[in-house]
Amino acid sequence: MVTIKDIAAATDVSASTVSRVLNQDMTLSVSDETRQKVIDTAQRLNYVKKPKKEMTTQTLHIAVLTVFSETRESNDSYWRQIYLSIVQAAHERGIVVDEVIRINQGLKLADFAQYDAIIVLGDMTPNAVKRLQQINNCIVLVDAKDHYHDIDAVNPELRLMTVRILNELYEAGRQKIGFIGGINDLTALDGTTTTNLEDVRSEIYEDWSKRHDITPHFHTGTWHAETGSMGATKLLEEEPQLDALLVASDPIALGAINALKLQGIEPGKDIDVVSFDNLELASYLVPALTTVELNPSAIGKTALNQAYELAKGERSWPIWSTIPSQLHYRETFKKNK
């Protein structure tokens, strides 16, 4: 018996798009040529439409495409938790999520037509996103720095939290606040990468410093502890009286804290340090690190739910979801000190 997936494979169109075309969904944004190709292929293959009750029990297949290598993911709890929460949420809904697809292992773009939806983890080039969308328009981008008017997205809340932290440090009397952040790479479909600009926290820090007439002191690099170590050393050379440090991730903060201690500067006593991620190690550091919980489990679950809605054709408009973050006060910065 010919299925929706057979037609999708024969036309290089997603299964959800085929279903919506055959169900005469005129709200679907697809070219007349593609719509006619689906109809002609269905007729040529002698497709027989299933009764509605049978279609509702169809198992959905959702792909998870990541820009990260296994090594990077194994060392990055944030992305690992997002992926695991996607798998867990899929299991609860009876959705099949096949093995994670990694760009660096090579892709056959046409294969993505067989999936009902695709969840993308990390930053891809605009050209890569658009090419993927041509094959399958049911896409959810997770923590991607670029937004597209016609593509779903799920992101952690970073803007308001960054401003809040800077304001609280300032209200606590800190006048010389530094920033250490990471630089994001954009990945193409062939696995090659190009260096992108600093993330939103860097932009907000510079803007906030200007508005408060404070000299900015910042350093950016890769998302590793070495960036924190180099950054803290550099910023202290620029401003020996640095009294606060905002860091874009816990691994970077770990390097920064080690560099501070080597210079006899005690975090939480001589200088305040606030970071992002709330990795398990943060509460076990000495002193314990004040850091932001980005709720990766909620990010992953939300991405899966949005992919499910797209795959089922429950809506024809994109949704941009922002997951609230939470600041955990510990020894490196106590708001009421």
The pLDDT of residue 35 is: 81
The pLDDT of residue 87 is: 94
The pLDDT of residue 94 is: 92
Q: Report cis status (omega within 30 of 0) of the bond before 287.
A: yes
Q: Which amino acid is present at 218? A: F
Higher pLDDT, 199 or 288: 288
Please name the residue ranges forming H helices in 189-273. 200-211, 225-238, 250-262
Helices (H) and strands (E) in the chain, counts: 12, 14
Least confident of 71-75, 159-163, 187-191, 265-269: 71-75
The pLDDT of residue 8 is: 87
The pLDDT of residue 50 is: 62
Which architecture characterizes domain 159-294 according to CATH? 3-Layer(aba) Sandwich (3.40)
Q: Can you tell me whether residue 29 is helix, strand or coil?
A: coil
Above 50 in pLDDT, residue 54?
A: no
Helix axes 32-44 and 4-11, enclosed angle (nearest 10): 120
Instruction: Compute the average pLDDT of residues 300-317.
Output: 95
Q: Can you tell me whether residue 133 is helix, strand or coil?
A: helix
Above 80 in pLDDT, residue 108?
A: yes
The pLDDT of residue 25 is: 65
The pLDDT of residue 56 is: 47
Read off the pLDDT of residues 58-73 as tens digits, 9 standing for 90 and up. 789 999 999 988 877 7
Query: Residue 319's closest CA among 139, 199, 186?
Result: 139
Q: In whole numbers, what is the pLDDT of the chain averaged over residues?
A: 90
Least confident of 107-116, 231-240, 241-250: 107-116
Instruction: Compute the average pLDDT of residues 136-158.
Output: 95
Above 50 in pLDDT, residue 106?
A: yes
CATH T-level assignment (fold) for domain 4-55: 434 Repressor (Amino-terminal Domain) (1.10.260)
CA angle 150, 153, 155 (to 5 degrees): 150
Domain ranges (residues) in the chain: 4-55, 159-294
Tell me whether strands 139-142 and 101-102 are parallel, antiparallel or unpaired.
unpaired
pLDDT cut 70: percent of the chain above it = 95
The pLDDT of residue 47 is: 83
Q: Which residues pair with 245 in a beta bridge?
A: 178, 273
Read off the pLDDT of residues 171-181 as tens digits, 9 standing for 90 and up. 999 999 999 99
The pLDDT of residue 53 is: 44
